[in-house]
């Protein structure tokens, strides 16, 4: 079942997708060409409007949900990294200002770049108005694979261990299987590559009672993971690829 269409996208994500420099995007936000919002936690606010340079409140209410961030507050975020905001613009009612009340006393809202959201309709309007183009996805994928971990010459991992090239054989793992393989890979770089199965299951969030149950649908998994017969497991790498143990505890198991 496909995920539903997203209601909004984070501005940080769009910075990497649009064929625009960061400065160009920030300029658009600061000058009202692109509107950003945040998800406001419940706050008591005064709802009103600006009249001759003064704020005139009409009602007092509890407000939460998505609200627009003022362009001047966005400018402060881009310059200083954060702003303590006290006023917002309503998404539902055009022109309405929402100002956090002094009574009851409430903290202002700390906003950073990672909190800024762009509504789907606003994103489409901005892209259509200014003919915004997207960066090629293919280039980003190539860069991602370029920086994969190649810790040992006979094991290569991709997509957070969901794809493992082990001595030239490709294994495709589920989330829990990948996490266990990752734990064993990290252990292989230490003084003792052996990890108890219960620890591996617990750290991966698995509810399986036995280690074998996690890999029972994965043909050939014993080629990549070795057991000592006493509940400990390690990657089946050549011994010379492991660091020398500090004591005999690891060697005594095999």
Structural domains in the chain, sorted by start: 8-129 (no CATH), 146-253 (1.10.10)
pTM: 0.54
pLDDT of residue 1: 61
pLDDT of residue 48: 94
pLDDT of residue 128: 94
Q: What is the pLDDT of residues 131-179, one digit of tens each?
A: 999 887 544 444 444 434 444 557 888 888 888 888 888 889 899 999 9
Q: Which two tokens stand for residue 70?
A: 């003022």
Q: Per residue in 130-162, is it b (16+ CB within 10 Å) or e — as a string? A: eebeeeeeeeeeeeeeeeeeeebeebbbeeebb
pLDDT of residue 249: 44
| pLDDT at residue 241 tops 90 | no
Q: By the 8 A CB rule, do 118 and 31 touch?
A: no
**Which comes out higher in pLDDT, residue 4 or 86?**
86
| pLDDT at residue 10 tops 90 | yes
Q: Which two tokens stand for residue 99?
A: 């100002």
pLDDT of residue 242: 42
Instruction: Report in angstroms the alpha-carbon separations of 63 from 96, 113, 123.
Output: 13, 22, 24
In the numeric block, the tokens 């990890």 are attached to 195
**Which comes out higher in pLDDT, residue 249 or 235?**
235
Q: What is the pLDDT of residues 47-93, one digit of tens each?
A: 999 888 888 999 999 999 999 999 999 999 999 999 999 999 999 88
Kindly indicate the confidence band of residue 188, based on its pLDDT and cuts at 50, 70 and 90.
confident
Q: Which two tokens stand for residue 134?
A: 């997207």
Q: What is the pLDDT of residues 189-227, one digit of tens each?
A: 877 889 999 989 988 888 888 898 999 888 888 889 999
pLDDT of residue 53: 81
How far, in Å, CA of 18 to CA of 9, rounded?
12
Q: Which residues contact 24 (CB under 8 A, 6 or more apart)?
A: none
- 32: alpha, beta or left? (left if phi > 0; alpha if psi -120 to 50): left
Mean pLDDT value across residues 20-24 = 93
pLDDT of residue 149: 46
pLDDT of residue 158: 86
Q: Which residues contact 31 (CB under 8 A, 6 or more apart)?
A: 71
Q: Which two tokens stand for residue 228?
A: 């000592």
pLDDT of residue 28: 96
pLDDT of residue 157: 86
């Amino acid at each position: 079942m496909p995920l539903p269409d997203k209601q909004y996208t984070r501005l940080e994500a769009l910075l990497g997708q649009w064929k625009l420099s960061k400065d160009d995007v920030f300029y658009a936000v600061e000058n009202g060409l692109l509107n950003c919002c945040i998800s406001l936690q419940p706050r008591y606010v005064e709802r009103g409007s600006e009249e001759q340079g003064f704020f005139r409140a009409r009602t007092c209410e509890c407000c939460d949900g998505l609200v627009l961030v003022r362009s001047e507050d966005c400018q402060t975020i881009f310059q200083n990294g954060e702003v303590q905001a006290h006023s917002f613009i309503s998404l539902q009612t055009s022109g309405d200002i929402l100002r956090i009340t002094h009574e009851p006393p409430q903290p202002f809202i700390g906003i950073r770049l990672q909190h800024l959201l762009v509504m789907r309709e606003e994103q489409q309007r901005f892209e259509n108005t200014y003919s915004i183009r997207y960066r090629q996805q293919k280039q980003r994928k190539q860069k991602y694979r370029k920086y994969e971990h190649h810790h040992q010459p006979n094991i290569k991992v991709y997509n957070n261990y969901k794809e493992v090239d082990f001595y030239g054989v490709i294994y495709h793992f589920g989330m829990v299987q990948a996490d266990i393989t990752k734990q064993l890979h990290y252990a292989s770089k230490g003084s003792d590559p052996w990890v108890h199965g219960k620890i591996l299951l617990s750290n991966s969030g698995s509810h399986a009672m036995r280690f074998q149950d996690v890999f029972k649908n994965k043909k050939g998994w014993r080629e990549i993971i070795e057991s000592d017969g006493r509940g400990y497991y390690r990657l089946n790498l050549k011994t010379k690829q492991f660091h020398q143990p500090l004591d005999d505890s690891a060697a005594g198991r095999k």
